[in-house]
Amino acid sequence: MGEPAEETAAGAVRVTAIASLTPLEELDADPFLVDSRSQHAMCARWAADRGYVVTRELLVHSLRSDHDVLWTDVDAGLVDLFVAPSDRVLRAALRSVDEFTAECERRGVRLETAGLAEPSYDAEMKKRVHRRMSMPTAGYDGC
């Protein structure tokens, strides 16, 4: 569900990137929602542009806003904000964006959306996403 936190420079804003875990069957209808690698890359680009550091990447689908995976690093003082590529991705990743937003406000953690342009997917790009998503246990790394 998530990658462990990495060491960060003192004073750096620490970010958890949220991507949606969307079934491969949705690739033709909405390739960006399936392409979690591009979602995380968008969050990383957004963070880097601001001098922030992504310390955790979450890949979730319809997760409850009170789930421990969201709050463990926040409670430990390891996360300053959450970022997702877009509201659309948040709606797929979380069961209730409104409840999550309220919980972020209650805990004093910012929630942002990157709002960058999504990639355009041609047949070749969809094929690469399909291959990467359908062969994760075979050692394929997407290169």
Neighbours of 142 (CB within 10 A): 11
Number of H helices, E strands in the chain: 6, 4
Q: pTM for the whole thing?
A: 0.85
pLDDT tens profile 68-118: 999 999 999 999 999 999 999 999 999 999 999 999 999 999 999 999 999
Alpha-carbon distance of 104 to 101, in angstroms, equals 5
CB of 21 within 8 A of CB of 93?
yes
* CATH 3.40.50.300 for domain 14-132: no
Q: What's the Cα-to-Cα distance from 36 to each of 41, 45, 104, rounded to whole Å? A: 8, 14, 23
- How would residue 11 be classed by pLDDT, with cut points 50, 70 and 90? confident
Q: Is 12 exposed, middle or buried (0-12, 13-18, 19+ CB in 10 A)?
A: middle
